[in-house]
Structure 1
């Protein structure tokens, strides 16, 4: 519900209005948004709790294996883990990715690459030139580490290019690691089915328009029944 003080509704500017001054559609919209956001917060906590539990259970299993083989625990964390059901149809996978950052030498590397491009523009494939320059695009205040490191895959032997690649090596710093956990199962739960990732990202979760329309019709019927 909206913030209500002494029976009055607070608007976006912090002012309080008598409910008679708030349009019915705005009251309905407020109730809808409040309800959905509250549900989202509940789901958010459930997913966070599940993620913590999933990591803990996988790492506990690895500890169990260490104990079985009388191995001493060397580190406080476990690296990549892949666990499979007995028939191989289901899988839990933990991957550890390095968090890469760059120091000021990356700017110098960009300048050196610009020097190279200035000399080679006429003979350089325009598509490759675009890919090279886009690698340094800044998004959300950061460059894409994969694209920067990917520049080293080009088979370019020009001295300026090699010098730039050396600068990138010197500019690269490992800021830490980040662990990802994924859940997979084979299509149709068949042993020969392709392995598919179970989507837990709400934005990427595939939903058919027909499914939405079906639920919408049910909601409309419920609202109509309530109004009778």
Structure 2
């Protein structure tokens, strides 16, 4: 009985079985390469090439982020050792500048927010207000409320729209109690640091961000 020899070429998505090349399809079945359409093989090669570069870039960005935070932490520790103080501002935000004032690194700390059960009480009070008010008298408020309590793509309450409700001044006791309930529902569950980079050609010019986000590059 002839032995079955299996060799894998993961970079190409190919499995060689006793000298014959196969590729897995989306259902996990092995399909002989000779039976795969040319355009499907070409698409597969293109996607694998792009993903290869994307993985390498992701690893590079991760290393850059880790080195950046390590350098900033080391500098802060040096200042603390020398002067008993650290660079910082509101909520731990920090700005570091080059000596010529043409380069800037900013560390911004953003709170991560969740909402407690009081939010459902607020929603009930707001619904009472909207049901009592005439349907066409406050359409803009109805729109904001709808957007605020609709979940976003991650299944979370729309925070920015919810905070817009808190800025509205409405002379209604139920509405004001609803706003108090929203404020009471806010929970700070943690914080996340964001590092941003800026340059400018001269000190008279505005700052230009160095974009690392692929969608904004």
Per the normalisation by structure 2, the TM-score is 0.84
Moved more, 40-49 or 56-65: 56-65
Residue number in structure 1 paired with 2:93: 80
Listed as ranges, the gaps of 5+ residues in structure 2 are 1-11
Residue number in structure 1 paired with 2:180: 166
Q: Indicate conservation of the 8 Å contact 1:101/1:145, yes or no.
A: no
Residue number in structure 2 paired with 1:97: 110
In structure 1, how many angstroms separate the alpha carbons of the residues matched to 2:63 and 2:137?
52
1:69 to 83, 87, 112: 83
In structure 1, how many angstroms separate the alpha carbons of the residues matched to 2:137 and 2:81?
58
2:131 to 84, 95, 118: 118
In structure 1, how many angstroms separate the alpha carbons of the residues matched to 2:176 and 2:136?
18
The 5 A counterparts of 1:38-57 are 38-57=52-71
1:4 to 6, 10, 15: 15
In structure 1, how many angstroms separate the alpha carbons of the residues matched to 2:165 and 2:130?
13
> Offset of 1:122 from its aligned partner?
5.2
> Offset of 1:43 from its aligned partner?
0.2
Is 1:193 matched with 2:193? Answer: no
Q: How many residues align?
A: 198
In structure 1, how many angstroms separate the alpha carbons of the residues matched to 2:84 and 2:208?
35
In structure 2, how many angstroms separate the alpha carbons of the residues matched to 1:115 and 1:3?
62
In structure 2, how many angstroms separate the alpha carbons of the residues matched to 1:36 and 1:123?
52
In structure 2, how many angstroms separate the alpha carbons of the residues matched to 1:164 and 1:122?
19
Residue number in structure 2 paired with 1:220: none
SS in 2 for 1:138: coil
In structure 2, how many angstroms separate the alpha carbons of the residues matched to 1:51 and 1:168?
36
In structure 2, how many angstroms separate the alpha carbons of the residues matched to 1:151 and 1:3?
56
Listed as ranges, the gaps of 5+ residues in structure 1 are 206-228
Moved more, 79-88 or 35-44: 79-88
Is 1:19 matched with 2:33? Answer: yes
Residue number in structure 2 paired with 1:31: 45
Q: 1:5 to 1:14 in 2, by over 3 A?
A: farther
Moved more, 119-128 or 100-109: 119-128
Q: Indicate conservation of the 8 Å contact 2:196/2:209, yes or no.
A: yes
1:175 to 154, 171, 189: 189
Q: Indicate conservation of the 8 Å contact 2:151/2:157, yes or no.
A: yes
